[in-house]
């Protein structure tokens, strides 16, 4: 892909055309199959943003995943590269044009599998189905994902329908644009790709991995502001620690997320109203 709206790649190995054989090998490693996020946005400079930091940033540099921002602006109409127009039927704000977004989706779809399970195409939208850890797990198994970041009042419905785009929400609130939501979804997904997290066990133990919220965590000092770390965690008795943590995870889930608790009980043949001391 060339031209003004060719995806802008992030991450050292995904990015630099270079005559150095080592880099060329590294680039082909990325092209050969690193999980890739293609993000359609009016603000490509917002990327990689927080994704360039810490473990996700290191993994991006190592080519364990790749990020390509597709700038919507150069695909706009006319001399001013207009990407939006007033809503049909009247009302406040502006709507991203179907024809402009269509061009971006054509660029984003180049070389991607047709099968949506292998490459989900998603519009970040407060109207969408809520993003979950299960979706992050599915996406991490795919070859990549295309994410559309809306702005203003959103995107013309016709292009969403034409491309059978899935709508996914970060939660029941309204952001100014989809970029923060895209970064959150990419972060949640990328950390499930093997080798991105140093210790894969930590992804297996944390909140939602088994349908429960995570147990409370503690670290040094053992006594802080008169508050002690629970004795059991300092006992060295691993089986008892595992039991305690499970009990705490169940207690917190029951208290804070009755919806998750009911689903967990149904999956484990438990009565959600059981009077067991948690």
Ligand X SMILES: C[S@@+](CC[C@H](N)C(=O)[O-])C[C@H]1O[C@@H](n2cnc3c(N)ncnc32)[C@H](O)[C@@H]1O
Interface residues with ligand X (CB under 6 A) are 124-127, 149-151, 153-154, 169-171, 173-178, 181
User: Shortest approach of ligand X to residue 235 CB, angstroms?
Assistant: 43
Residue of closest CB approach to ligand X:
150
Cβ proximity to ligand X, 129 vs 240, nearer residue: 129
User: Shortest approach of ligand X to residue 172 CB, angstroms?
Assistant: 7
Q: By three-state DSSP, how is residue 108 classified?
A: helix
Contact 184, 77 (CB under 8 A): no
User: Shortest approach of ligand X to residue 200 CB, angstroms?
Assistant: 28
User: Shortest approach of ligand X to residue 43 CB, angstroms?
Assistant: 11
Cβ proximity to ligand X, 131 vs 215, nearer residue: 131
Q: How many C-alpha atoms does 269 have within 13 Å on its Cβ side?
A: 0
User: Shortest approach of ligand X to residue 84 CB, angstroms?
Assistant: 11
> For the chain, where are the E strands, in sequence order?
8-10, 35-41, 65-71, 84-85, 95-96, 121-130, 144-149, 166-169, 223-224, 227-228
Cβ proximity to ligand X, 66 vs 72, nearer residue: 72
User: Shortest approach of ligand X to residue 2 CB, angstroms?
Assistant: 28
**Residues contacting residue 96 through CB under 8 Å, at least 6 positions apart:** 72, 83, 84, 150, 151, 152, 154, 155, 156
Cβ proximity to ligand X, 155 vs 192, nearer residue: 155
Residue 73 DSSP symbol = G
Contact 136, 193 (CB under 8 A): no
Cβ proximity to ligand X, 49 vs 178, nearer residue: 178
**Residues contacting residue 33 through CB under 8 Å, at least 6 positions apart:** 143
Cβ proximity to ligand X, 67 vs 147, nearer residue: 147
Angstrom distance (rounded) from CA 207 to CA 245: 12
């Amino acid at each position: 892909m060339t031209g003004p709206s060719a995806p802008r790649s992030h991450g050292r190995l995904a990015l630099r055309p270079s005559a150095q054989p080592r880099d060329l090998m590294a680039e082909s490693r990325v092209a050969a199959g690193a999980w890739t996020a293609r993000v359609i946005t009016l603000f490509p400079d917002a990327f990689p943003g927080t994704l360039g930091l810490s473990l996700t940033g290191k993994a991006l540099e190592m080519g364990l995943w790749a990020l390509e921002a597709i700038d919507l602006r150069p695909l706009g109409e006319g001399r001013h590269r207009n990407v939006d127009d007033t809503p049909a039927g009247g009302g406040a704000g502006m709507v991203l044009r179907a024809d402009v977004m269509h061009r971006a989706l054509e660029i984003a779809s180049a070389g991607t599998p047709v099968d949506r399970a292998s490459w989900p195409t998603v519009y970040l939208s407060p109207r969408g189905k809520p993003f979950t850890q299960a979706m992050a797990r599915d996406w991490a198994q795919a070859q990549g994902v295309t994410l559309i970041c809306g702005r203003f009042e959103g995107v013309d419905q016709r292009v969403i329908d034409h491309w059978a785009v899935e709508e996914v929400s970060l939660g029941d609130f309204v952001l100014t644009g989809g970029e923060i939501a895209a970064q959150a979804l990419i972060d949640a997904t990328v950390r499930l790709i093997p080798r991105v997290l140093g210790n894969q066990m930590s992804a297996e133990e944390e909140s939602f991995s088994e349908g429960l919220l995570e147990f409370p965590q503690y670290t040094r000092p053992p006594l802080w502001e008169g508050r002690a770390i629970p004795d059991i965690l300092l006992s060295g008795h691993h089986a008892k620690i595992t039991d305690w943590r499970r009990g705490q995870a169940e207690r917190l889930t029951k208290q804070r997320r009755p919806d998750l608790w009911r689903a967990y009980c149904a999956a484990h043949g438990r009565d959600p109203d059981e009077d067991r001391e948690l």
